[in-house]
Amino acid sequence: MALAQLIYRSQPFGFDEAMLNGILIQARRNNAANDLTGALIVRADLYLQLLEGPDAAVATTFDRIAGDNRHLAVTEISRIAVDDRMFPGWTMRDDPAPSWLWDAGEVADGALDRAAPGDVLAIFGRLSKLPIP
């Protein structure tokens, strides 16, 4: 069965741990109900998320995120059809953007604007192979 896989980025608005925990709780509940899985790489200056699941559910969820006032500058990086999920056991894996990701200065300087969709997908590929914290 073909699934949709969408990657987007945004900037957090008013980021703190309480807000992140609220986003994760809501995402995990909604994603479980809509057969979605994925991962969220997050830090004070960046949300980078991969969503995967039925096309309509991915589209609806992305539209909801794009309208959420906790996100600024929501930008779709890629949307493709896939046969297999990268994060099949995760309604939403979260990661604190480890050191192999761009630093805040590089993000501010446009690193994500210059990154090819395949490069961003590779970041999630590495995350999918890391041990569960």
Tokens, residue 34:
């809509």
pLDDT tens for the chain, 133 residues long, are 689 999 999 988 877 788 778 888 888 999 999 999 999 888 878 889 999 999 999 999 999 999 988 888 999 999 999 999 999 988 888 876 665 578 888 888 988 889 999 999 998 998 888 777 6
Output the pTM of the full model: 0.88
H helical segments located in 9-116: 17-33, 55-66, 104-108, 111-114
Distance (Å, whole) CA 98 – CA 119: 16
Map out the domains of the chain with their CATH numbers. 3-129 (3.30.70.100)
